[in-house]
Amino acid sequence: MSLFLVGGGYDDSLAEVYDEFVSQARHHNADAPVAVVVAGPASESADHLAELTHIVTSRWADANILPIHLDGPGTAPTMGDPATPLWATNESFQLPEGLDTLAGIIVGGGAVPSYINGLAPAAEQLSMLVRGGAPWLGFSAGAMAPSITALAGGWQLQGRRVGQPAGAEGYEEVTFVEGLGLVSLTVTTHNDTLSGDGLLISAVESGLLSSAVAVDEGTCLRIDASTGHTEVMGRGLVRWFTRDVNGVLVRSQRSITPETTPAPHKPRFDGLAKVAAATRAAHDKEEREKAALQRAEERRRTREARPAADQTPAPEDSPVPEDSPVPEDSSVPEDSPVPEDSALPKDSATSTEPATEPTPTTDPVTQPTPEPAAGPTPTEDVKP
């Protein structure tokens, strides 16, 4: 059977834990009572006892409930300065007989020393009860008291702050006491709300503890009493602290069943968000269109800026270079009439002398087109 160690008070979200506890209790001994243990007299703890009792009666209608109010010596925590007990001690208090024959036991929350001092006379019977297969369901202090070495309270260690005064239970220096001895390592609770990692790391590092485990609220650490196998139930985290040669090793463990992710909250200004999104989309579209037009314009300018020499043919009346050979039939025929505006002398038409080679004119129109300079031809949109 199992020890169900809950990291906080009663929580409706842990229905799976309560179902398993009641099932194990009925299976262990359906004819025996289930003990419900709370710290303080009935006048102080009746509501807490009724809340824990409902866990069983709502799932096991004919269950036999054994209520136990721990109000004997050493059970009343002190408050204020001077220290004043929260309730009057019942000097005649005694635990019921036969605690080792219960179907199961539920231990509530409060101050850890209240449960250790109140249940210590029956520590051996409780050990036999758990080893015999009866389930234990402990809340907060009821989950811490079963440890061999239990944390009583405190918020500083050797003058250095390592925890929160809110969870110190009236202690200033971190204080460990002898527990009921059902669990071999130290268990602490409310780890998420009290930020207890630093306290346990300091305690393990300093040698006060060799190992410890911290349980978040709304979370349960289930320990199989026969095998020592552990399981995390609920929505929170369980952290293990172990002393290592290099310091303190911290390991985290969660429930194997992932929780359903809640639906995202609808924005308060949903309408404005939609308008903003539409505006951004329109702006992005306009920017893309401008970029496309700009690329098209650049391609057009590049085409228009090609060198004119590549597209315009050479002039037809370009002079023949001096070293160019003269064709054999380039002489003027004897019977060819000489134009009046010819550049040759009039008497050259009838001359039998060989025709002289014409001299190139100096008309700038007929000058050869200069070769373009080497290198790329600049376009209109590129600076020289």
* Whole-angstrom distance, CA of residue 127 vs CA of residue 83: 33
Structure tokens at 293: 């037009």
Flag whether pLDDT at 209 surpasses 70.
Answer: yes
| Count of CB atoms situated within 10 Å of the CB of 243 | 17
* Whole-angstrom distance, CA of residue 211 vs CA of residue 201: 9
CA 53 to chain centre: 39
247-254 and 237-244: which strand pairing? Answer: antiparallel
H helices, E strands: number in the chain: 8, 17
pLDDT at 273: 76
34-39 and 65-70: which strand pairing? Answer: parallel
pLDDT in tens, 161-176: 999 888 888 899 999 9
Query: What is the pLDDT averaged over residues 263-285?
Result: 77
Instruction: Report the mean per-residue pLDDT for the chain.
Output: 83
Flag whether pLDDT at 9 surpasses 60.
Answer: yes
The DSSP 8-state label assigned to residue 173 in this structure reads B
In degrees rounded to 5, what are phi and psi of residue 106? -115, 130
For the ranges 5-9, 216-220, 270-274, 372-376, which has the lowest average pLDDT?
372-376
* Closest to 68 measured CA to CA, from 115, 123, 4, 2: 115
Query: What is the pLDDT averaged over residues 349-359?
Result: 46
Q: Which residue has the higher pLDDT, 367 or 48?
A: 48
In degrees rounded to 5, what are phi and psi of residue 253? -140, 135
Q: Rounded to the nearest 10 degrees, what angle do helices 15-29 and 42-57 cross at?
A: 80
pLDDT at 153: 94
Secondary structure of the chain: what % helix, strand, coil (to 5)?
30, 20, 45
pLDDT in tens, 97-134: 999 999 999 999 999 999 999 999 999 999 999 999 99
* Whole-angstrom distance, CA of residue 278 vs CA of residue 273: 9
Listed in sequence order, the residues at least 6 apart from 308 whose beta carbon sits closer than 8 Å to its beta carbon are none
Domains of the chain (ranges plus CATH)? 2-254 (3.40.50.880)
78-79 and 156-157: which strand pairing? Answer: unpaired
* Closest to 217 measured CA to CA, from 2, 3, 12: 12
Flag whether pLDDT at 343 surpasses 50.
Answer: no
- Contact by Cβ (8 Å): 206, 247: no
pTM, two decimals, is 0.67
Flag whether pLDDT at 265 surpasses 80.
Answer: no
- The β-bridge partners of 221 are 5, 232
Cα separations in angstroms, 165 against 63, 101, 162, 174, 178: 40, 40, 10, 11, 22
* Whole-angstrom distance, CA of residue 289 vs CA of residue 182: 76
The CA angle 116-118-123, to the nearest 5 degrees, is 65
First to last CA, the chain: 91
SS3 224: strand
